[in-house]
Copies of this chain bind each other. A is one copy, B any other.
């Protein structure tokens, strides 16, 4: 029984394998190794925040040895994955050279990313009364992790590397519930609190000192045209010093939230909001009932909108 079943299944699968080019890329091309890309993201964090992750002995070591050794390894690994990604896409020779150049520029920007991350840490500490220390933010705030991954993936997005930025951002998405498309452009002192359910679309622009809470969507008005919309500005622009509270939605490429706006929780915005404006959700309806009423009727008194 088992062996016959397996034989049948194998035959049918093989048929699919042969007929569907997605399964068996032509020309021996390979796809990047997702695990390797994630490893880069995880290890790079040891460079950016030495002493925080793993049992590493960064604290006592000559920092040159520490950074030099680890970056060397990361460099090789990332270059390899970029090469694979470019070879898949380009189908020609220049891939290896371009991968070398991109990797080089990527690492040149690491010190800058580190500086930006320190500002993001500060924004988190200033913005969250529950934060007991900046160390705690580095250690355990998922928002900071998502922003770190975004800032890293964004460099590769700008270099037009296929697959890898998205693998990175989806890794962060999976771990934090925060989905920042690597194409978004985000300013300094950015703070995400709690963060689960946040979506920041590909063409979103965000200014400095912006604070977002869980469940905020910065999205497109419509996606019905699908691939025809690719590349167009579909997502909103958020000015400096804006705060958007939880579960609010801002949609549309022409929608601009002016600087110093406060967007209340559970709002749904599809038009621009001028600077220094506060937006609030409307009040809900209340329905009262006494305990006596409920008991008399053995009333389950459940939710009916």
What's the Cα separation between A64 and B61 when bound, in Å?
13
- Known contacts A111-B16, A121-B22; is A286 also within 8 Å of B281 by CB? no
What is the chain B residue whose CB lies nearest that of A2? B75
What's the Cα separation between A270 and B225 when bound, in Å?
29
B72 and A22 contact, CB distance less than 8 A: no
What is the chain B residue whose CB lies nearest that of A281? B268
What's the Cα separation between A51 and B251 when bound, in Å?
37
Interface residues of A in 146-198 (CB under 8 A from B): 162-163, 166-167, 170, 173-177, 179, 181, 183, 193-194, 196-198
Please indicate the chain B residues that have their CB under 8 angstroms from the CB of A222 in the complex. Answer: 300, 302-304
User: Which one of A63, A65, A247, A269 has the highest number of Cβ atoms from chain B below 10 Å of its Cβ?
Assistant: A65
What's the Cα separation between A217 and B217 when bound, in Å?
16
Contact of A305 among B18, B133, B281 (CB under 8 A): B281
Contact of A50 among B24, B118, B226 (CB under 8 A): B24
- Known contacts A181-B130, A199-B246; is A288 also within 8 Å of B268 by CB? no
- Contacts A/B (CB < 8 Å), 12 sampled: A2-B104, A6-B107, A13-B63, A68-B68, A136-B162, A199-B246, A215-B215, A215-B217, A251-B305, A266-B268, A269-B284, A282-B284
